[in-house]
Amino acid sequence: MRRKLLAMVLWMCATCAQLMAQSQTVTGTVTDKADGSTLPGVSVLVKGSKTGTQTGVNGQFAIQVPAGAQFLVFSYIGYTAQTVRVSGNTLNVSLEVDAKQLSEVVVTGFGTQRDRKTLGYSATSISAEDLTQAKVTNVSNALAAKIPGARVAGSGGAFTGSSVIIRGFTTFTGSNQPLYVVDGIPVDNSGGGASLQSGASVSNRIVDVNPEDIENLTVLKGAAATALYGSRGASGVILITTKKAKAGQKSKIEFSTSYNAIDINKLPDYQNTYGQGVAGAYSATVNTSWGPEMKGQTVNNYLGQPVTYQAYPDNVKDLFKTGYNLQNNLSFSGASDKSTYRVAYGNGTETYVIDGNKLKRNNLTVNASTQLNSKLKVGTAFTYTNNTSIRTQQGNQLANPVFRAFFTPRSFDLMGTPFEDAAGVQTYFGAEDNPLWSIKHIKYNDEINRVFGNVNLRYDFNNWLNAEFKIGTDYYNTKVKGFDELGNRGGGNAGSASVGIGGVVERNSNLKNVNSTFTVTGNKRYGDFGVTATLGNEVYDNYSTNANVTGLGLVVRGFDNIKNTLTYNPGFGSSRVRLVGFFADVAADYKNFITLNVKARNDYSSTLTKENRSIFYPAFATSFILTEAFPEIKESGKINLVKLKANWGEVGKGAPAYSTDSYYITASAGDGFTTGITFPFNGLAGYTLSNTAGNNAITPEFTREWEVGTELGFFNNRITADMALYRRKTRSVILNVPLAASSGVGSVTKNAGSLSTKGFEASLGITPVKVKDFLWNAVGNFTKFKSIVQELAPGVPVITLGGFTTPNVRLVAGQEYNQIYGSKMQRDANGKLLLTAAGLPLATSGVEILGNANPDWTMGITNTFTYKSLSLDVLLDIRKGGDMYSRNIADVIRNGAAKETAEVARFNADGTVAKPYMFEGVYAPGTPNAGQPNTTMITSEQYWGNSGKFVAAEGYMYDTSWFRVREANISYRVPVSLASKTPFGSIDVGLFGRNLFMHAPNFPHFDPEQNVLGISNAQGLEFNAQPSTRTIGFNVRLTL
Amino acid sequence: MKRITYKITTLLFACIMLLSTSCDKYLDINKDPDNILDGPLPQLLSSVTVNIGYFAGSDMQRWSALIMQQYSGQSTGSENQTQVFDRYQIQGNDANNVFSTIYATILNDIDNIIAKSGTASPHYSGVAKILKAYVMQIAVDNFGDLPFSEAGKLLVNPTPKYDDDKVIYTELVKLLDQGITEVNAATSVLSPTTNSTIYPNASFATSKVNWVKFANTLKLRIYLHYSQSDNAFYKAQTTALINSGATFLASNADNFQMAFLNEANRRNPIDQMEVSRANYLVAGAKLVDMMNTRLDPRRATYFTQVGGAYKGAVTGAPAAAATYSKIGLYLRGGSGTTYTGAAPIRMLTFAEYNFIRAEAALDGAGAGVAQTFFQAGITASMTDAGVAAADITTYLAANGLLAGTTEAMRQRIIEEKYVASYGVITEPWTDWRRTGYPALTIPANAVLTAVPRSLFYPQSEIDFNGANVTQKANMLVRVFWDTRP
């Protein structure tokens, strides 16, 4: 290792050379034309020669100009280059920001920025405006439909985030979510994976970052792009740069506020003809709407009270309220020529369409930097976040308020019937918790206090060599309290052991992430050749603890304290992972049109044994800009940019903590149906050898990828395109391999299997109209990838990612990632349904493939219309394909609540139950007319019910293809002439919305953007999901 | 310039030297501080006994009781899994958890106890071997051929071969003999005390008497299972064992059972099932009708009443859970209508011992009179079920006489054993497979044309140990001792 680094150091040193002495010295300062701040690192070149230099930290330069030379060329990424005639020995130049170019500066590594044009790999940047146009609280939700190559999908419910899958799945059971890096320090984004059968939804923790603090967000996709970020970046990296003042910027106070209303975006279409009952007869205690026709008869409700048997068309709708999201942000920023600062405070309150949900966030962000002397710069950036929320229950459990509420019998007055007695004891006809009682009494709240940020030092040895040290932390504490009131019917927070007796859960967890990076960067030009080289070291230490206690059996009703319970079950766990990494990143170019970038990183991971802990991985990227090599191509203006890029890279990864040994763990007992036994039992501790065996032979997991792509610009860049084709393969995947239990152990962590992805991504920008005051700009992006599980461990055909016996989501060797399996309807050899003598279908006893959760492709289209100071942005989100098992759809249909179940009259004229339906198929073997075509007519209830269309999981499958107006925003900047009459420097106002329109042609009744397991690898199951929402609001931004 | 380069190089070297020397130490942290690398004997045994107690009241207990129609699967509407089981659809996937409990939890820890005890603590290894014999006996009676000689070798052999069930049975007797010898050892560094939740006692000198009695009684049970396949062997071994002066269960206090607690997460599995899966199980008509006919006083604690009567569901009947008697206090614990979950899970009772002896006496194996044992069995069961002495007397007067042919007498013995074994895992099903008593009616919606004779192997074994086991064609495949035509 040492030798490898030495070689790198020597190589870099060899690139050092002395400047040649020249005759005339010209000195000067380069500043930003807009605010007068000085610009360091500006390239200053004597035109027509190979002589050049760069400005120093305070924007000053000195250059030897040979006699006869007349012009100096000043260029700086993000600014329009200027050619200035030399006159005298002093030359002060101010450069103008190139609006087109600005977005083309890309942060690509630890603190390094590069010109997008020279990159040999894909990187997508999203500006602050694009990110915050719909004012979402969770930044992961703001990424939907904006990134070519990334599939972003929300998981439904209150305050949840989005799953972001960049260029396919890279691993089996580990996380496939990208690494989020804020100002060079990785921040934790755990959470967001919902529990199948208990608890409230949880937010993925990137929700602690205030989108209003973000200046720029860059997505690094391929292995060649992310290699420097080490193992955590194997699934892509999202780099967030926070807002900072620029040197020389005037002091500024900025205030912005936004308010939006939140509504349920789609409600099922209900029938309002038939009410509560079964088999055509009224029953007060069933969930189904298979009762008699509602004609205002008098019936007894489940409490024995006489009520009018009539439709309550809005009984479900009225359960949902209008929520809101209010955000306020205030910032102070400014700079002298040496120091900058920005102090910002933001607060936000968001509620949901179900009462009992509220999230509050307070962010305080401070950053500052100062140039201590000409060489040393010190900076810091810290954010403190306080995030509290209260939430109702979710998932496939009786305490979820919408567990059965979506199919509330059409004749049941949900809102008008009492849900509890005077003592607070709930009352409901069903076996589940009354939705209103659950909302009121099953409580969950959490509080997160979090600090993340860094201190950084930069030392400029001279104008081409600097060293930077950055140490940062991400620390947060989570306090969770769950309360299940006495008489609860669902497991709620404390699990099924609390049913009836109530329970309290207290959880306290901490996460501490310390990260340090040290880099030395040299940047130099030798005539036509330019070299940027970085050598670096990263050390991180990640430590998390989780202490919890579950109390069962409440004593005093309503007293939500752990002391108020009779049985305590404690839990404690911790995990520590450390990593030391060394890396090098060298980019060399020739005349800026051909670039070669070599990267290498060697990690040492604590999660592997000494022998296996070294993980080395390289990357190569190259780009060739045809239009720079042959500038004459550009002359006509029809072709502006033709760039080709290619890269190959690899990223290595360690194992989960503590998987190299087998441990004895606290014992427990249980089966699939009951809660089981928790130790200590009767004063006895119990230990058992863990059913998951450790393995000290685990070696690193590697993801390898190649990519070829092109970037094009035509007609003065009115048409631009960026395309990439890639192939990714992960080998030696580290996973928990299931074993035959008879071996004495259930699974072992080992390297097994491989996974590959082929993908294509593109973005196409068009400016159809560009006249004096009006601009129409359209940018579309397209994502298509397919991840195939090539092989699992020998002897392991299947790994189940989540779900039930049927349905479940699986990895199957040779098949696409995320296959949904479940029971099907039985068919004969000709594919005809096999039907019982009663004319009803049969379910297979085993499970078969029902579909795949992955869409064929996704597309986002942003249209921007600008007229003077008025602009309109509309983001369209299009998704083709992708299957989902929907419990909600099945529920509203099979229980007789949905419109289609009443499309044919359920009763004959004589009042008997009609039999208007018939399944096409043949009678099954064993029935009297086996093999004969079915002629048995059945009732609506049979046809649409559990023994008909929904007899097997197959009936629950729907295609999720959608078209939606994901975001829209109208913004208006008050003209300076008007603004100047106010105390404010600038005034912006806007209207915005999210999910304004949604059309899913093959997904009835609900919004398909759901996942019962939240942000996890298992996608494609929806169980009693809480509704998706639509928001509409306005915002104001004032600066002083 | 050169000076600077030199400085940087030196600095970098210093950093790298510093890092790489301390690097290994810095990274040597991959030991989980929250768990231990070695588990002590006492806590391993606590885990084993609690898991055995829970196991004996869980899935396999429910399946055998459903097959034997002591319970019936029910629901209030949409079909519950217990109703599927009632149709004899107990799939391979359903057995995955069972195998994990048997092999990866119970037997694995038992083998660890045996290995850790070595020769130093024979009292621990002896108890562990007796328990191992019990668990394997239940497992074989449910599945037939099973991994045994190669099982539990962890990663050394992740795909153990399946041994002939008949061979395993002979090994079980050897295990019991070893276990008896070892618990009788004069010295043992460590001995189980109250940390064993089965036969807990501060003094091992006291509890070892129980372990020996249980081991001998278990041998009687094992020999009895040969009654069809090798009747001579059954009789000879039973006779020899009884005549050897071996001690057997002598009262309900000797019952091989595990007590649970009236505390959340510590309740017995039958009660937990009733709480978290209400209406999944109700009393079976077969059992209830039999007891109704004889006005059995145990009904008061065995079942709940519906409309002042005891009513069991006919297996396969339509969903109407509320109209049937539920599982009562005897299995759930408590009093009146308040359940505590503190009832023990009974695994081998004094009552069963008496019925074994009754059948043996009928077959001329061992001393004694069938009638005496028969009545002792009923008395033991009724006493355990809280029946008053006077009511026992009344019942015995009406139903306590064995009469008629040997087969008629056997039928009565097994019928009473069937009632007494309410809540006992597997044994009623085993008795039916051996004797055909009590006669069962196959549910109208059954997927088989006969009563199942064994369980499907778990899907996990088919998936991950496919070289050694293939799935059975159906549940009619028989265990080796099941040769009744």
Nearest CA in chain B to A669: B51
Contact B273 A674 (CB under 8 A): yes
- Return residues 450-509 of A near B (CB < 8 Å): 461-462, 465, 467, 491, 496-501, 503
Contact with chain B for residue A7, Cβ under 8 A:
no
Q: Can you give the pLDDT at residue B19?
A: 57
- Return residues 721-740 of A near B (CB < 8 Å): 738-740
Q: How crowded is residue B6: how many other Cβ atoms within 10 Å of its Cβ?
A: 11
Q: Is the peptide bond preceding residue A268 cis, with omega within 30 degrees of 0?
A: no
Alpha-helical (H) ranges within A334-467 are 435-441
> Helix, strand, or coil here: A954?
helix
**Residues of chain B contacting A288 with CB distance shorter than 8 Å:** 77
DSSP string, B229-291: T-HHHHHHHHHHHHHTT-----SGGG-EEE---SSTT-S-HHHHHHHHTTTSEEEBHHHHHHH
Angle at which helices B204-224 and B122-143 cross, to 10°: 30
For the record, the structure tokens of A759 come out as 């993908």
| Rounded Cα distance, B303 and B342, in Å | 16
Contact A9 B12 (CB under 8 A): yes
Task: Give the closest-approach CA distance of A592 to chain B in angstroms.
Answer: 26
Task: Give the closest-approach CA distance of A486 to chain B in angstroms.
Answer: 14
Nearest CA in chain B to A894: B78
Contact with chain B for residue A75, Cβ under 8 A:
no
* Whether the Cβ atoms of residue B41 and residue B333 lie closer than 8 Å to each other: no
Contact with chain B for residue A3, Cβ under 8 A:
no
- Sketch out chain A's domains with CATH numbers: 2-98 (2.60.40.1120), 125-265+321-399+442-660+695-889+959-1039 (2.40.170.20)
CATH fold for the domain made of B43-263+345-441+449-464: 1.25.40
> Helix, strand, or coil here: A884?
strand
Pairing mode, if any, of strands A719-731 and A754-770? antiparallel
* Whether the Cβ atoms of residue B416 and residue B359 lie closer than 8 Å to each other: no
Which residue, A791, A670, A689, is CA-closest to A735? Answer: A791
Q: Can you give the pLDDT at residue A1?
A: 43
> Which residue bears the tokens 């804020």?
A182
Contact A567 B1 (CB under 8 A): no
Q: Can you give the pLDDT at residue A18?
A: 32
C-alpha distances in Å from residue A686, one per residue of A566, A568, B46, B86, B105: 21, 16, 5, 35, 12
Within 13 Å and on the Cβ side, how many CA atoms surround A949? Answer: 23
| DSSP single-letter state for residue A294 | -
* Whether the Cβ atoms of residue B263 and residue A551 lie closer than 8 Å to each other: no
| Banded model confidence at residue B315, pLDDT cuts 50, 70, 90 | very high
| Rounded Cα distance, B143 and B90, in Å | 12
Q: What is the identity of the amino acid at A536?
A: G
* Whether the Cβ atoms of residue B58 and residue A674 lie closer than 8 Å to each other: yes
Contact A795 B466 (CB under 8 A): yes
> Helix, strand, or coil here: A338?
coil
Q: What is the identity of the amino acid at A699?
A: T
- Return residues 325-344 of B near A (CB < 8 Å): none
Q: Can you give the pLDDT at residue A48?
A: 76
Nearest CA in chain A to B91: A845
Q: Can you give the pLDDT at residue A865?
A: 95
- Return residues 87-146 of A near B (CB < 8 Å): none
| Rounded Cα distance, A189 and A386, in Å | 16
Taking 3-state DSSP, the helix, strand and coil percentages for chain A, each rounded to the nearest 5, stand at 10, 50, 40
Nearest CA in chain A to B155: A743
Q: Can you give the pLDDT at residue A317?
A: 95
Q: Can you give the pLDDT at residue A313?
A: 96
| DSSP single-letter state for residue B104 | I
Which residue, A554, A501, A422, is CA-closest to B338? Answer: A501
Task: Give the closest-approach CA distance of A684 to chain B in angstroms.
Answer: 6
Residue A754 parent element (H or E): strand A754-770
Q: What is the identity of the amino acid at A127?
A: S
**Residues of chain B contacting A805 with CB distance shorter than 8 Å:** 93-94
Q: What is the identity of the amino acid at A876?
A: L
Under the phi-then-psi rule, with left for phi > 0, alpha for psi from -120 to 50, and beta for the rest, what region is B245?
A: left
Contact with chain A for residue B308, Cβ under 8 A:
no
First to last CA, chain A: 54
> Which residues have CB under 8 Å from A501's CB, separation 6+?
A486, A552, A553, A554, B264
Contact B91 A845 (CB under 8 A): yes
* Whether the Cβ atoms of residue A747 and residue A734 lie closer than 8 Å to each other: no
Contact pairs from chain A to chain B, CB under 8 Å: 289
> Which residues have CB under 8 Å from B126's CB, separation 6+?
B178, B179, B180, B181, B182, B183, B184, B185, B208, B211
Which residue, A769, A956, A951, A959, is CA-closest to A854? Answer: A959
C-alpha distances in Å from residue B211, one per residue of A153, B134, B200, B215, B281: 60, 12, 11, 6, 33
Q: What is the identity of the amino acid at A803?
A: G
- Return residues 95-114 of B near A (CB < 8 Å): 96-105, 107-109, 111-112
Exposed/middle/buried for residue A910 (C-beta within 10 Å: 0-12, 13-18, 19+): exposed
Contact B463 A286 (CB under 8 A): no
| Rounded Cα distance, A673 and A670, in Å | 8
| Rounded Cα distance, A60 and A432, in Å | 73
* CA B236 to chain CA mean position, Å: 27
- Return residues 280-309 of A near B (CB < 8 Å): 286-288
Within 13 Å and on the Cβ side, how many CA atoms surround B351? Answer: 25
Nearest CA in chain B to A496: B276
Contact with chain B for residue A569, Cβ under 8 A:
yes
C-alpha distances in Å from residue B177, one per residue of A243, A445, B52, B132, B182: 78, 58, 20, 12, 9
* Whether the Cβ atoms of residue A179 and residue A237 lie closer than 8 Å to each other: yes
What are the residue ranges in chain A where pLDDT is below 70? 1-23, 34-36, 78, 97-105, 111
Q: Can you give the pLDDT at residue B322?
A: 86
Contact B197 A684 (CB under 8 A): yes
- Complex ipTM value: 0.92
C-alpha distances in Å from residue A138, one per residue of A134, A163, A348, A394, A548: 11, 12, 11, 19, 27
* Whether the Cβ atoms of residue B344 and residue B258 lie closer than 8 Å to each other: yes
Task: Among A465, A520, A741, select the one facing B100 at the smallest CB separation.
Answer: A741
**Residues of chain A contacting B116 with CB distance shorter than 8 Å:** none
Q: What is the pLDDT of residues B372-416, one digit of tens each?
A: 999 999 999 999 999 999 999 999 999 999 999 999 999 999 999
| Rounded Cα distance, A905 and A939, in Å | 10
For the record, the structure tokens of B258 come out as 């595990």
| Rounded Cα distance, B22 and A1039, in Å | 52
Exposed/middle/buried for residue A908 (C-beta within 10 Å: 0-12, 13-18, 19+): exposed
